[in-house]
Amino acid sequence: GQQVMQIPQYQHVQEGEDFTTYCNSSTTLSNIQWYKQRPGGHPVFLIQLVKSGEVKKQKRLTFQFGEAKKNSSLHITATQTTDVGTYFCAGRVGGNKLVFGAGTILRVKS
C-alpha cells in the first residue's frame, strides 16, 4: 500500500544549528502536509503544499515539495528550544485520507 518514508528518525542539534527532515513517497501525492507534535501533545497542522516544486516559508521554517510530487522537506534555520518535538509529514493520497510518515524527533541542546 501507500507508504511515506521519513528520515532521519531522530536528530539532536545544538541550539542555533539548522535541521532538516525529508519525506519520500512511493507514489505521487495530491498534496503533502506537515505536522508538529510537542512531547506529550497531539499533532498540530503546520502547512500544506500542493503544487509541484512549491516552496513555502513560515518564519524560520522552509517547506518544499518536489517536482514529481513524491518528496518533501522541512528545514528549520537556527533552531531554538521551542522547536523541540516530532515533525511528521503526511501525504494525501486520494479523497481525504492521510498517510503519515514515521516522524523525525528533534531535540535541541541549549
Partner 1 sequence: SAVISQKPSRDICQRGTSLTIQCQVDSQVTMMFWYRQQPGQSLTLIATANQGSEATYESGFVIDKFPISRPNLTFSTLTVSNMSPEDSSIYLCSVLSRGRSVYGYTFGSGTRLTVV
Of the CA atoms within 13 Å of residue 23, those in its CB half-sphere come to 36
CA separation for the pair 74, 53 (Å, rounded): 13
Q: Which of 21, 43, 61, 69 binds partner 1 (CB under 8 A)?
A: 43
Q: Which stretch, 17-25, 35-43, 64-72, 74-82, contacts partner 1 (CB under 8 A)?
A: 35-43
Q: Which of 12, 44, 55, 109 binds partner 1 (CB under 8 A)?
A: 44
Quick one: which of 95, 108, 104 has its CA closest to 37?
A: 104
* Number of Cβ atoms within 10 Å of the Cβ of 1: 6
Q: Which stretch, 19-27, 65-73, 74-82, 88-96, contacts partner 1 (CB under 8 A)?
A: 88-96
66 forms part of the interface with partner 1 (CB under 8 A) = no
59 forms part of the interface with partner 1 (CB under 8 A) = no
Q: β-strand 10-14 against 31-37: which pairing, if any?
A: unpaired
| Interface ranges with partner 1 (CB under 8 A) | 1, 33, 35, 41-45, 47-48, 88, 90, 96-103
